[in-house]
Amino acid sequence: MSDSRDTWRMGDLLDAMSGSHIPNYVTMVIQEVQNWLVSSLSEDYTVDLTEIASGEHTASADMEYLFSQIEWANSYADVLPSKTEPRQEDALILSVGQMILDEGLRMLVDHAALFGRDICRRVWLITDTWVIGDVLPYMAHLKALRENGIQLHCMLVTPWNYVEVPWNKETEERK
């Protein structure tokens, strides 16, 4: 990494994108999210505009299906959104589908700083969108969490691949 923490070099980005530090359970959840995204894009998946307008769109049922597919991950991490009490050092936050990135970031901060503050040490935000305008308001929060020893990881997932968006000290220190 360069001397300035504000400067990223191509090697830093490529290393962060290699994924060698990602636990197996996270990559397995990412694969499930990718499968879910592919099924969402399939010809069988149709959206009725009247369902969307009425707020009765079946995407919530699709999310229930996704959560049923990754239920096993609860033995490795607190999978959010959830109504259960924090109990794991790792938290895995799904910010996909109807849940926008802003909601995922808010959940990340709330879980790490409030609800799981005595337990949580690592947070994996898995998202299918990356909007810098959604992230900027949370930068001070993310910095405060890092300064308190929380490792933060943002995994941007598409149906075809995934990449870690480098935004934290742990990523900066890897070369």
Categorize the per-residue pLDDT at 144 as very low, low, confident or very high, splitting at 50, 70 and 90.
Answer: very high
CA atoms within 13 Å, Cβ hemisphere of 140: 1
State both tokens at 111: 């879980």
Q: Mean pLDDT across the chain, nearest whole number?
A: 81
Of all residues in the chain, the percent with pLDDT exceeding 70 is 75
Rounded Cα gap, residues 32 and 14, in angstroms: 24
Contact predicate 80/92, CB 8 Å: yes
Rounded Cα gap, residues 153 and 161, in angstroms: 16
Any idea where the domains of the chain sit in the sequence? 10-173
Q: Which residue type sits at 128?
A: D
For 14, phi then psi, to 5°, come to -65, -40
Categorize the per-residue pLDDT at 84 as very low, low, confident or very high, splitting at 50, 70 and 90.
Answer: confident
The listed range with the strongest mean pLDDT (54-63, 80-89, 140-149) is 140-149
- Span 93-124, pLDDT tens digits: 999 987 889 999 999 999 999 998 899 999 99
Contact predicate 150/112, CB 8 Å: yes
At CA 116, angle to CA 89 and CA 16, rounded to 5?
Answer: 50
Residue 72's pLDDT is: 95
Rounded Cα gap, residues 42 and 122, in angstroms: 34
Mean of pLDDT values over 5-9: 63
- Span 14-40, pLDDT tens digits: 666 665 678 999 999 999 999 998 887
State both tokens at 53: 């307008």
Comparing 1 with 75, the larger pLDDT belongs to 75
Contact predicate 154/127, CB 8 Å: yes
